[in-house]
Amino acid sequence: MSFVPPQRTLMGPGPSDVHPDVLAALSKPTLGHLDPVFVDLMDEVKALLQVAFQTENRLTMPVSGPGTAGMETCVANLVEPGTTVVVCCNGVFGERLRQMVERCGGTAVVVDDAWGRAVSPEKVADALKAHPEAEILAFVHAETSTGALSDAETLAALAQKHGCLTIVDTVTSLGGVPLRVDEWGLDAVYSGTQKCLSVPPGLSPITFSERATERVQNRTTPVQSWFMDVTLVMGYWGEGKRAYHHTAPVNMIYALHEGLRLLKEEGLEAAWARHHSAHEALKAGLEALGFSYLAPEGERLPQLNAVWVPEGVDEATARRRLLDEHDLEIGGGLGDLAGKVWRIGLMGYACRPENVRHCLGALETVLGRTGGLAAAEPLLDEGVAA
Amino acid sequence: MSFVPPQRTLMGPGPSDVHPDVLAALSKPTLGHLDPVFVDLMDEVKALLQVAFQTENRLTMPVSGPGTAGMETCVANLVEPGTTVVVCCNGVFGERLRQMVERCGGTAVVVDDAWGRAVSPEKVADALKAHPEAEILAFVHAETSTGALSDAETLAALAQKHGCLTIVDTVTSLGGVPLRVDEWGLDAVYSGTQKCLSVPPGLSPITFSERATERVQNRTTPVQSWFMDVTLVMGYWGEGKRAYHHTAPVNMIYALHEGLRLLKEEGLEAAWARHHSAHEALKAGLEALGFSYLAPEGERLPQLNAVWVPEGVDEATARRRLLDEHDLEIGGGLGDLAGKVWRIGLMGYACRPENVRHCLGALETVLGRTGGLAAAEPLLDEGVAA
């Protein structure tokens, strides 16, 4: 039998709710990957990605795989055997970066911060001073595993001061909080489609600065991955005549185009403001229900609310009830945080007043508490665009 | 503006026409990648892939990237630095396998055959004898660049005789011609969704035999790709509790499920017969129009008809007219065959009598010739199910 999924509200760490226009775009008739009409669409997607990333980088395109493939594309192209990389670890994805650096033959100098905290610029400055051989600084802008937001602008400035390039994970930040690739001078940046772009999972937008592109061109060893070698991929995604590299995921590109188009139509600043004000409302409601945040004020992602599960709550059972009785998905914790925190997403199309209400109402029912909705409502009325 | 693609008929080397039920499945509401309902669907997809591949291999799943990512998954997991691999090169994809083997630190022993010919079992036997250090034989079952079909069963038997594992490219063969992974003893097999499965491009089904799985488990070096490391990926796609590895491309999995379901409903043997008989009709028409085949009789893929462009025909202009005036996509040649051959696909949902008629009729108009449709019609009436 054909599969008929239930209609969930996706407020976990991603995938998040997909915009209905994006779902409609997905099922448009498939074109050939070298069809001139599709090639024109590729150009539009690149231009829209430049807007979303706030960059004029020519090497800006979607990798034909999930965010993890985008991460590895950045690492595999920039890291050669023997390259020293300062890697900031304050959650699951920093740790993943470290493993990838080592699998590419690089040496990782790890800067550890507690899970739930932002990356410490002081520690990074110390590590860069202590390791003058370092050529790259790698960090996560928005840690999806903890809800912590790091100061990408300051970290990038430190890297530049020490002559390092940056690899920056913006999987959860793109479209949700301010991200200015050119103004901040970020070098190799990757993201995902399934968070604040309101597109299903499956693609990973990347952008490389001229410095990063030059580094790839000046490598003395081949990129270990043929699939991810951006020099080869740009034969297809670059300018001029398109050479076959792999068959592009045509329908997913339609979806990404529509998601980016909607983001541009709304405006980046408006989208960032929407995420901020919905977060304020959700936060008021969650705190009224007895939740407290993992990340301290000032280091929190509005679009990913990681909160301690209140004492006495059986978290797995409660989450299962949210799903089964309210069709609401929220996320559990990863690693040491499993069973201890919940991750409540407000990303892209999922970041709407009705979702804040739905989430708080469902939590009230499942936890047998009250006051959350009442605390959020005034902030929803004021702040969040419908 | 939202993108509105034209409705093409896709008879190139892929992507091929997508079944309407598959397009409908694509735009169903997105689920979380750990939602129990989605996890059940993953199990169904694995079981359906086992049917399509004719295997009971437990490690059977779709890689979250295009066929090239599936190819590299097979190579990166089985090849360690110093591994010798006999690589059969009779087209673009054999050459790509060679490059990947070398980027993984392996040594490629190349067995060359002319583009358009099947892989020669005699040459392979000689190479395996001359290189007792070889541990793997890699070859392409159905060369999409030339339309040549190689004898996978015979090649796999040779590999076994010499104690080698096999890496086999079935991107274009899966669902179009007989492929029996277990009966033939193939070890690491990859395919694509955009050929005979009638699904858009973006995923790469793979299957690993127990021998191949053991080889991965007994590696002495880590798989160089974190994204493609099947030991990590199977933490998510394997049995029991699912651990997060990357966010699965949820909606593309819906599409693959529907395409595989339709293939099982039709029956593999019936699908193979449909491709065979549509090819016979197309061939009669093409030959009546003055085309001849690149591959000799007996080494031809029914689902990919690579034919010499008749003398006096401006191939690029003619192909552009087919696209612009008839919304028909056929493929040009790659590499040395560029400008010399056309590749006309009859894959999956594109393999229908109306497409054979549409293609021959459009060719008659564009080339100013007649007799193609008339030659094909009797064979269409007899052989091809509607």
pLDDT by residue for chain A (386 residues), tens only, comes to 999 999 999 999 999 999 999 999 999 999 999 999 999 999 999 999 999 999 999 999 999 999 999 999 999 999 999 999 999 999 999 999 999 999 999 999 999 999 999 999 999 999 999 999 999 999 999 999 999 999 999 999 999 999 999 999 999 999 999 999 999 999 999 999 999 999 999 999 999 999 999 999 999 999 999 999 999 999 999 988 888 999 999 999 999 999 999 999 999 999 999 999 999 999 999 999 999 999 999 999 999 999 999 999 999 999 999 999 999 999 999 999 999 999 999 999 999 999 999 999 999 999 999 999 999 999 997 554 44
Considering CB atoms only, which of A25, A104, A202 is closest to B2?
Answer: A25
CA distances from B332 to B46, B281, B345, B367 (A): 34, 21, 11, 16
The answer to whether residue A4 is domain-embedded is no
pTM for the predicted model, two decimal places? 0.98
CA distances from A359 to A217, B41, B245 (A): 49, 26, 27
Whether the Cβ atoms of residue B242 and residue B29 lie closer than 8 Å to each other = no
**Sign of the dihedral defined by the CA atoms of residues A67, B228, B252, B176, in that order:** positive
Q: What are phi and psi of B107, to 5 degrees?
A: -110, 125
**Are A55 and A135 in the same domain?**
yes
**Are B139 and B54 in the same domain?**
yes
The answer to whether residue A11 is domain-embedded is no
Per-residue H/E/C for chain B: CCCCCCCCEECCCCCCCCCHHHHHHHCCCCCCCCCHHHHHHHHHHHHHHHHHHCCCCCEEEEECCCHHHHHHHHHHHHCCCCCEEEEEECCHHHHHHHHHHHHCCCEEEEEECCCCCCCCHHHHHHHHHHCCCEEEEEEECEECCCCEECCHHHHHHHHHHCCCEEEEECCCCCCCCCCCHHHHCCCEEECCCCCCCCCCCCCEEEEECHHHHHHHHCCCCCCCCCCCCHHHHHHHHCCCCCCCCCCCCHHHHHHHHHHHHHHHHHCHHHHHHHHHHHHHHHHHHHHHCCCCECCCCCCECCCEEEEECCCCCCHHHHHHHHHHHHCEECECCCHHHCCCEEEEECCHHHCCHHHHHHHHHHHHHHHCCCCHHHHHHHHHHHHCCC
Nearest CA in chain A to B26: A27
Residues of chain B positioned with their CB less than 8 A from the CB of A334: 244
**Are B114 and B209 in the same domain?**
yes
Q: Would you call A99 and B226 a contact, using CB atoms and an 8 Å cutoff?
A: yes
As a whole number of angstroms, the distance between CA B85 and CA A185 comes to 43
**CB proximity A15 to B under 8 Å:** yes
The answer to whether residue A364 is domain-embedded is yes
Q: 3-state class of A60 per DSSP?
A: strand
Residues 6+ apart with CB under 8 A from B20: none
Residues 6+ apart with CB under 8 A from A215: A78, A165
**Sign of the dihedral defined by the CA atoms of residues A150, A151, A155, A158, in that order:** negative
**Are A306 and A211 in the same domain?**
no
Average pLDDT value for residue range B43-53: 98
Whether the Cβ atoms of residue A90 and residue A115 lie closer than 8 Å to each other = yes
Nearest CA in chain A to B69: A227
Considering only CA atoms, which of B104, B214, B251 is closest in space to residue A76? B104
Size of chain A, expressed as the number of residues it contains: 386
Residue A158 is predicted with a pLDDT of 98
**Are A324 and A352 in the same domain?**
yes
Where is the domain boundary, B237, B264, B291? B264
**CB proximity A155 to B under 8 Å:** no
Residues of chain A positioned with their CB less than 8 A from the CB of B329: 32, 35
**Are A260 and A324 in the same domain?**
no
The answer to whether residue B97 is domain-embedded is yes
Residues of chain A positioned with their CB less than 8 A from the CB of B24: 27
| CA-based nearest distance B382→chain A, Å | 30
Nearest CA in chain A to B24: A27
Q: Would you call A225 and B67 a contact, using CB atoms and an 8 Å cutoff?
A: no
Nearest CA in chain A to B72: A227
Residues 6+ apart with CB under 8 A from A108: A85, A86, A87, A98, A101, A102
Residue A239 is predicted with a pLDDT of 87
CB-facing half-sphere around the CA of A46: CA atoms within 13 A: 18
**Are B84 and B34 in the same domain?**
yes
Nearest CA in chain A to B106: A224
Q: How many cross-chain Cβ pairs, A to B, lie less than 8 Å apart?
A: 231
Q: 3-state class of A297 per DSSP?
A: coil
Residue B383 is predicted with a pLDDT of 52
**Are B257 and B278 in the same domain?**
no
**Are B188 and B109 in the same domain?**
yes
Considering only CA atoms, which of B224, B70, B231 is closest in space to residue A225? B224
**CB proximity B14 to A under 8 Å:** yes
Average pLDDT of the residues of chain B: 97
**CB proximity B223 to A under 8 Å:** yes
Range(s) of the domain holding residue B330: 267-383
Residue A386 is predicted with a pLDDT of 42
In chain B, pLDDT over 70 holds for what percent of residues? Answer: 99
| CA-based nearest distance A382→chain B, Å | 30
Residue A240 is predicted with a pLDDT of 82
Residue B177 is predicted with a pLDDT of 98
Q: Is the pLDDT of residue B240 over 90?
A: no
Residue B386 is predicted with a pLDDT of 42
* Residue A279 one-letter amino acid: H
| CA-based nearest distance B242→chain A, Å | 13
Considering CB atoms only, which of A96, A227, A251 is closest to B72?
Answer: A227
Q: What are phi and psi of A198, to 5 degrees?
A: 65, 30
**CB proximity A201 to B under 8 Å:** yes
Where is the domain boundary, B209, B244, B264? B264
Strand order through the sheet with A84-89 = A59-63, A204-208, A188-190, A165-169, A134-140, A84-89, A107-112
| CA-based nearest distance B95→chain A, Å | 12
Whether the Cβ atoms of residue A237 and residue A49 lie closer than 8 Å to each other = no
Q: Would you call B33 and A201 a contact, using CB atoms and an 8 Å cutoff?
A: yes
Interface of B with A in 331-370 (CB under 8 A): 334
The answer to whether residue A6 is domain-embedded is no
The pLDDT confidence band at residue B239, using thresholds 50, 70 and 90, is: confident
Residue B382 is predicted with a pLDDT of 59
List of E strands, chain A:
9-10, 59-63, 84-89, 107-112, 134-140, 142-143, 148-149, 165-169, 188-190, 204-208, 304-308, 328-329, 341-345
**Are B196 and B313 in the same domain?**
no
Q: Could you count the other beta carbons within 10 Å of the beta carbon of residue A107?
A: 17
Q: Is the pLDDT of residue B106 over 80?
A: yes
Whether the Cβ atoms of residue A70 and residue A191 lie closer than 8 Å to each other = yes
CATH number at residue A99: 3.40.640.10
CA distances from B191 to A204, A266, B168, B277, B354 (A): 22, 40, 9, 23, 27
**Are A250 and A298 in the same domain?**
no
Q: 3-state class of A278 per DSSP?
A: helix
Considering only CA atoms, which of A12, A14, A8 is closest in space to residue A195? A14
Where is the domain boundary, A227, A245, A265? A265
Nearest CA in chain B to A319: B35
Q: Would you call A72 and B192 a contact, using CB atoms and an 8 Å cutoff?
A: no
Q: Would you call A247 and B329 a contact, using CB atoms and an 8 Å cutoff?
A: no
Considering CB atoms only, which of A4, A30, A68 is closest to B10?
Answer: A30
CB-facing half-sphere around the CA of B352: CA atoms within 13 A: 14
Plot region of A356 (φ>0 → left; ψ -120 to 50 → alpha; else → beta): alpha
CATH number at residue A302: 3.90.1150.10
Considering only CA atoms, which of B25, B90, B243, B7 is closest in space to residue A5? B25
Q: Would you call B246 and A69 a contact, using CB atoms and an 8 Å cutoff?
A: yes
The answer to whether residue B2 is domain-embedded is no
The answer to whether residue A15 is domain-embedded is no
B166: β partners = B137
Whether the Cβ atoms of residue A305 and residue A268 lie closer than 8 Å to each other = no
As a whole number of angstroms, the distance between CA A223 and CA A209 comes to 18
Q: What is the pLDDT of residues B152-189, one digit of tens each?
A: 999 999 999 999 999 999 999 999 999 999 999 999 99
Interface of B with A in 90-129 (CB under 8 A): 96, 99-100, 103-104
Q: What domain count does chain A have?
A: 2
Average pLDDT value for residue range B302-315: 96
**Are A197 and A277 in the same domain?**
no
As a whole number of angstroms, the distance between CA B200 and CA B62 comes to 13
**CB proximity A232 to B under 8 Å:** no
Nearest CA in chain B to A221: B103
The answer to whether residue B28 is domain-embedded is yes
Residue B241 is predicted with a pLDDT of 84
Whether the Cβ atoms of residue B249 and residue B193 lie closer than 8 Å to each other = no
**Sign of the dihedral defined by the CA atoms of residues B119, B123, B124, B125, in that order:** positive
